[in-house]
Structure 1
Amino acid sequence: MTGPVLEEAFDRFWEDLLFEAEASADPQAAAFFRLYAKLAAENGDCIDLTYAPARNDGRNAFQIDGFALERDRGDLYLAISDFRSGRTLETLNAAQIDALFEKVRRFCNLAVQPAFLNGVDETSPSFQAAWPIFDGRSLIRRIRVVAFSNARLSTRRKPEMSGEVLGVPFVCSVLDFARYSSILQAKSGVEPIEIDVTSINGTPLPCLPAHSIDGEHASYLVAVPGPFLAEIYGLYGAKLLEQNVRTFLQARTKVNTGIIRTLETAPEMFFAYNNGLTATAAGITTAPLPGGGLGIASIDNLQIVNGGQTTASILYASDSQRRDRRADLSRVFVQMKLSVVNPDRLEDVVPLISRYANTQNKISEADFFSSHPIHLVLERLSRSQSAPAKPGALSGSKWFYERARGQYRDRLAYGTQAERKRFELEFPRDQFIDKTDLAKFEVTFECRPHIVSRGAQKCFLDYAEKAGKLWETSEARFNELWFRSVVAEAIVFRSLDRLVGRSDWYQNDRGYKAQIVTYTIAWLVDHLHERGRELDLEVIWQRQELPAEIVEALVQIAPQVAATIKDAPPGMKNVGEYCKQQACWAAVSGSRYAFKGRLDGLLVDHDQAERARKAAVASRKVDQDIDFDRVVVAMLADTQPYLSFARSRRLLTPKSDAALSRLTRGDIRLPPSERNALKYMVEKMVQAGFELPGFPQSPSGSVVEP
């Protein structure tokens, strides 16, 4: 990325940061951490982090800003912020990076000392960040540290082993502004990983070319040495895993004991016993081997799409802490099918390879929910549904649902200044919802705040399982009324988030704002539900702001909820971990909080709300049939574009092919089975980017209702 382009990106970053700080009523440093931590988790640098800014600038200075411990796999993730308040892009040099990591080392060493914990308050960030290290020291097998900086590295720095801390490997990486900006703009949504195979392995990996499609796809069979696989996973961790697999492993962190046993007792048989890996790449370089044959010297954008559990288990089995049980990886080889895909097709092909490669494993359709049609429906509704004007505004605007990361940013970045201004007036920054927001709002209103408190990725996966089943039962549930409800939930959640952030009681005792917000809303929803009532989300949609009566109730309830969640049981030292448990919700939901004021006129009977939801489902079913009838009529003019596109993407089935044949002959009377198959095919085509002739398209390519 060139200097001027990076400077322009830096200006946009500051716009994002100031908006985030204002919207959440948080200090700029906290908003900075949230922006970087979210991107780092999506990219695989870490899992969802708990914000805990612990710092001492005196003698033996230490600093930590976020943490997360995967107890089952033994990965401790730590983050340190290098936030710079200047509006000019500065340089980050090697000495400054080393100083940051040294502060993290000191914190780790202090965290395991009882004297340090006894010397700080149990509700302080220092204690909350140190306790998981102290309590989980015997479980920690690797410490992965990422430095967040809005300065630019003078020289690019890959993840590297930096000795040991607490007797375990200490792996350091840097997310500087150049990387941050590059990941934001990456087409696939993740940063490509370049593996120098020869440097790590000593020699290229012998491979056997297996299959090739000119310019589109080439396959290779590889026997990967165990030490090489452990080395690259030790350095890059979950970044090596395709996003669906990464999400699956984060949600289900236990290592595979069967794999471990084979590695320990019969390492030379691992190749024969294990199913191996399926991986993709954007490109490879090959080199002739000294004894003849072909070898892979480097791999561009390596992604393991099947075999993440195997990869993680190999690293675990070789862990130095296991001593006498440590597996001898020198005798381990893993079979790998490597598919080299045209970079222009990566975004489409890799998720499909991942889906099909995992059909025999426990990864469910929920793990692939990122590409579910629900997102397409919500995107379409968000582009077509105008919200009522806010008080004092002359006209209404729209809420932007971002189905694929970067859609909103791209629209703000391109076009003339007048076009960008017009877009932002139509879709204001504070009316933006992404996938993890959707899950957070919906799960909160389902009264499951302990799930929300487990982090964005785990909350998203939990929501995916439920929403996916609802979709299978009735797609019509996801209609305009549902969309308006989601927007109203967003208004409630974000309003309370700001209110808590600006309150005196929170300013005097910061911490756990995210948990306080989700638990407070869930308590009120549950409290009303017990009385057969619900918040009237249609009223909130119409007003496009939180009514004063609801504001008053929530601001009274929130400090009482905060007191409950901070009053964790004696054996539970970490409040953040306590909030992730059903026991915490039981304590909050069982509490009787007092609040003054009446919510008359802002509530609706539960039975009445259910009738409205059923009516919306029935109406949507009729609309869906009418919409598809219009598509079928349009197809009569020329079926060839549909046929060609469906064949190229392997979406054609015998029944949809038969339906197209009927339409080619001018016969519109399709049997139900052929009609359903054709409807499913068209939906998949639109998701893959096909534009239906004669139908307007949304900015992302999905169909918009006239």
Structure 2
Amino acid sequence: MSNLQLVEAFDQFWADLLFEAEASGEPQPAVFFSLYAKLAAENGDTIDLMYTPARHERRGGYQIDGCALDVERGDLFLAVSDFRTSRVLETLNAAQTDGLFARALRFCEQAVQPAFIHAIEETSPTFEAASLIYSGRAQIRRIRIVAFSNARLSTRRMPETTGEVLGVPVVCSVLDFARYADISAARGGLGSIEIDVAALNQSPLPCLPAHSIDGEHASYLLAVPGSFLAEIYGLYGARLLEQNVRTFLQAKTKVNTGIIRTLETQPEMFFAYNNGLTATASGITMVRMADGSLGISVIKNLQIVNGGQTTASILYASDSQRRERRADLHRVFVQMKLSVVNPDRLEEIVPKISRFANTQNKISEADFFSGHPVHLVLQRISRQLSAPAKPGSLSGSKWFYERARGQYRDKLAYGTAAEKRRFELQFPREQLIDKTDLAKFEVTFDCRPHIVSRGAQKCFLDYAEKVGKAWAASEASFNEYWFRCVVAKAIVFRCMDRMISSSSWYQEDRGYKAQVVTYTISWLVNHIQREELELDLNLIWQRQQIPEEVGAVLQQLAPQVSATIKAAPPQMKNVGEYCKQQACWAAVAGSAYRFRGSLHGFTINRAEANRSRNAGIAAKKFDTEVDFDRVLVAMLSDTEPYVSFARAQRLITPKSDAALRRLTRGDVSLPASERNALKYMLEKMQAAGFDLPARVKAALVAAAQ
């Protein structure tokens, strides 16, 4: 990124930060942390972090701004913020970053001291972070410290191991503004990684060219030393894992004991016993080895798309702090298929390689949700459907669903000033919804606030599994009515967030706002459901704001809910962790909170709500059939290519064959069974590489708009 582009990105960063601060009512340092933490979790630098600002400036000063413990892999993530208020991009030097790391490490050392823990107020952010380290010390096998800074590193700094603290290795890395801007602008949503293989492995990796397609990709076969894999995974962690696999591993799997046993007892047989890794890269540097063979000295943007569990287990087996015997990785080699993909096609090809490489593992379609068609449906509806005008406005606007990070920003990056202004009027910034927002709103109204409290990534995966099943059962359920309900939920959620931020009780004792928001809304939804009622989401959509009466009720409920979640049981003093438990939701759901006012006129009975949902499904099915009719008409002129390809690939069935014969005769009035068979056949043909004729492509594009 050029200096000019970096300055423009810095100006945009400040615009985003000020907007979020005003919208949320939170202090700028908190918003800064939120922006960086979200990006770090998406990029794999960290898992979802709790915001725990703790700072001590006197002798032995310490600082910690966020933390999280991945118990299954034993990684303790700590974030320390270097937030600067200057509107000019400043420089961050090595001494300053070392100082940030030292302050975070001093906090670690303090946190395991009983005297320190007992001296902290139990509802403070400092206690939240310290108790996580104190209670989880036995599970910690590696500490990963990330410095967040909106300054620019004077010299690029790669992740590095910097000794040990608490008896475990420490890995330090920096997310400075240059990296923040690069990741934000990256195609495919991932920041760049460049691995100096020759330096880390003491020599290039021998490789065998296996297959290539000019300008598209080339594949290589390698036998990778286990010690090298452990080294790079120790440094980069989950950043090496393709996003869907990373999310899957974070949420569902444990270190594989079978792999560990082989590494410890028969390391020389690991190559034979293990299935190996599938990986991708955007580029490599090739060199000639001493014996004349080819070797790889540098790998750019390495992503392990299959074999993440193997890689994590190798690192675990080599851990010198484990009580069990340490595996001798110098006798371990792992087979790897490395596909070097054209950078312009990374976003398209890598998810497909990930999907196909994982077909033998228990990673469901929902785990590949980042490419799920429901996103396309949401995106299409959001670009077409205008919301009613808000009170005081002459015209309506639209809600922008961001299927991939940066879509909204990219829309603002091009065009004249007038065109940009016109876009912002049509799609106001406050009406932007992304994938993790969608999950948060839906899971909250599904009365599962403990899932929302587990963080954006885990909440998203939970929601993805549910949506994957719902999509398989009825694609027509995802329609305009559903989208209007999503927007209404967003309005309620964001209004609740703003109300809490401005309330006196919260300003006197800040903390756990995110948890209070989701728990309060869930309690109200659950409360009215007991009377076979639902909030009238269509009314909220029509008004484009929450009714004052509903807002007044939520405002009364919030401090009561806050008191309940802060009254954690003695064995669960860490409130943030308590909010992630089903027990916390049971305590809130079972509480009889009091409020003044009535919700009469703002709820509808469940039967009426179901009728509206069914009407939306019926309308969607009709639209879908009309769209497919366009495809049928486009196919009328020549069905022979479809017949030939389908028969050659053995994709044709009696029903689809009957449909094609009808089309050959000019008959588009296909029975439902034949229509469905033809749809399925076309999907299979496209997946098999069939190049649709231009007329059909145009019809499919029209159907998707």
TM-score normalised by L of structure 2: 0.95
Which consecutive residues of structure 2, in runs of 5 or more, have no partner in the other structure?
none
Partner of 2:200: 200
Q: Secondary structure at the match of 1:136?
A: helix
Counterpart-to-counterpart distance in 2, 1:108 and 1:503: 34
2:618 match: secondary structure: helix
Kindly provide the CA deviation profile for residues 367-386 of structure 1, in whole angstroms up to 9, marking residues without a partner as x: 10111111111111111110
Q: Equivalent residues in 2 for 1:579-618 (5 A)?
A: 579-618=579-618
Cα distance in 1 for residues equivalent to 2:440 and 2:159: 32
**CA distances 1:23-51 after superposition (whole Å, capped 9, x unpaired):** 11101111111111001111110010000
In structure 2, the residue matched to 1:703 is 704
The answer to whether 1:8 aligns with 2:11 is no
User: Quick check: 1:84–1:150 contact (8 Å CA) kept in 2?
Assistant: yes
Deviation at 1:192, TM superposition (A): 2.1
Q: How many corresponding residue pairs?
A: 697
Q: Which residue does the alignment assign to 1:250? A: 250
RMSD: 2.5
Encode CA deviations 1:438-469: one digit per residue, 9 max, x unaligned.
11100000000011111111111111111111
Deviations 1:640-683 (A, max 9, x none): 99999x99xx9995469967898678564653354222564699
Letter of the structure 2 residue corresponding to residue 379 of structure 1 = Q
Residue 185 in 1 paired to residue 194 in 2?
no
Correspondent of 1:672 among 671, 675, 691: 675
Deviation per residue, 1:417-450 (Å, 9 max, x gap): 1111000000000000011111110000000001
Q: Tell me the distance in 2 between the aligned counterparts of 1:84 and 1:126.
A: 22
Q: Which residue of 1 aligns with 2:496?
A: 496
Separation (CA, whole Å) in 2 of partners of 1:684 and 1:431: 35
The AA in structure 1 aligned to 2:158 is: K
Counterpart residue number, 1:551 = 551
User: CA 1:403–1:679 in 2, change beyond 3 Å: closer, same or farther?
Assistant: farther
Segment drifting more, 192-201 vs 488-497: 192-201
Query: Cα deviation per residue 1:217-262 (whole Å; 9 max; x = unaligned)?
Result: 2211111101000000000000000001100011024211111111
SS of corresponding position for 2:398: coil
CA gap 1:696/1:626 in 2 versus in 1, 3 angstroms = closer
Change (3 A) 1:159 1:276: same
Give 2:354's aligned residue. Answer: 354
Q: Is 1:457 aligned to residue 460 of structure 2?
A: no
Write the distance in 2 (CA, Å) between the matches of 1:91 and 1:205. Answer: 36
8 Å Cα contact 1:628/1:679 also seen in 2: no
Letter of the structure 2 residue corresponding to residue 80 of structure 1: V
Q: 1:682 to 1:384 in 2, by over 3 A?
A: farther
Aligned to 1:148: 148
Change (3 A) 1:335 1:113: same
Aligned to 1:220, what secondary structure does the other structure show? strand
Distance 1:548 1:679, change over 3 A: farther
The equivalent residue for 2:314 is 314
Distance 2:508 2:317 in 1: 47
Q: Is the 8 A contact 1:70 1:253 kept in 2?
A: no
Q: 1:103 is matched by which residue type in structure 2?
A: R
One-letter amino acid of the counterpart of residue 672, structure 1: R
Give the direction of change, closer, same or farther, for the CA distance of 1:518–1:682 in structure 2 (3 Å limit): farther
Q: What amino acid sits opposite 1:494 in the alignment?
A: R
The aligned runs of 1:75-90 (5 Å cut-off) are: 75-90=75-90
Report matched runs for 1:131-280 at 5 Å. 131-280=131-280
Q: Distance in 1 between matches of 2:491 and 2:60?
A: 45
Closer, same or farther in 2 for the Cα pair 1:691/1:45, shift >3 Å?
A: farther
Counterpart code for 1:277: L
For residues 416 and 665 of structure 1, do their structure 2 counterparts lie closer, same or farther at Cα, with a shift above 3 Å needed? farther
Q: Tell me, yes or no, if the aligned pair for 1:73 and 1:253 is still in contact at 8 Å.
A: no
| 1:566 aligned residue | 566
**Cα distance in 1 between the residues matched to 2:639 and 2:562:** 61
Per-residue deviation, 1:335: 0.8
Q: Distance in 1 between matches of 2:663 and 2:161?
A: 62
SS at match of 1:528: helix
Shift in Å, 1:610: 1.1
| Cα separation, 2, equivalents of 1:682 and 1:564 | 56
Return closer, same or farther for 1:693/1:340 CA change in 2, 3 Å cut-off.
closer
TM score, norm. by length of structure 1: 0.94
Give the 3 Å change call, closer, same or farther, for CA 538–642 of structure 1 in structure 2: farther
Partner of 2:33: 33
The equivalent residue for 2:17 is 17
- 1:387-398 matches, cutoff 5 A: 387-398=387-398
Amino acid at match of 2:679: N
Match of 2:474 in 1: 474
1:333 partnered with 2:336? no
Secondary structure of the residue that 1:304 maps to in structure 2?
Answer: strand
Partner residue in 1 for 2:344: 344
The C-alpha deviation readout for 1:98-122, integer Å capped at 9, x for no partner, is 1111100110100001111111101
For residue 291 of structure 1, report the CA deviation from its aligned partner: 2.7
Shift of 1:346: 1.3
Distance 1:270 1:696, change over 3 A: closer
Segments of structure 1 that go 5 or more residues without pairing to the other structure are none
Q: What do the CA deviations read for 1:144-172 (whole angstroms, capped 9, x no partner)?
A: 11111111111111111111111111111
Q: Give the whole-Å Cα distance in 1 for the aligned partners of 2:699 and 2:601.
A: 41
Structure 1 position 265, deviation (Å)? 1.1
Q: CA 1:428–1:572 in 2, change beyond 3 Å: closer, same or farther?
A: same
The answer to whether the Cα contact below 8 Å between 1:692 and 1:703 also exists between their aligned partners in 2 is no
State the AA in 2 paired with 1:369: F
Q: CA deviation at 1:632?
A: 2.5
Partners in 2 of 1:547 and 1:40 — Cα distance?
Answer: 36
Which residue is 1:423 aligned to? 423
SS at match of 2:188: coil
Q: Is the 8 A contact 1:305 1:357 kept in 2?
A: yes
Q: Distance in 1 between matches of 2:74 and 2:675?
A: 53
Q: Which residue of 2 aligns with 1:627?
A: 627
Structure 2: distance between partners of 1:315 and 1:338: 20
The equivalent residue for 1:44 is 44
Give, in whole Å, the separation in 1 of the partners of 2:476 and 2:164: 55
- Please show how residues 271-290 of structure 1 align to structure 2 within 5 Å: 271-290=271-290
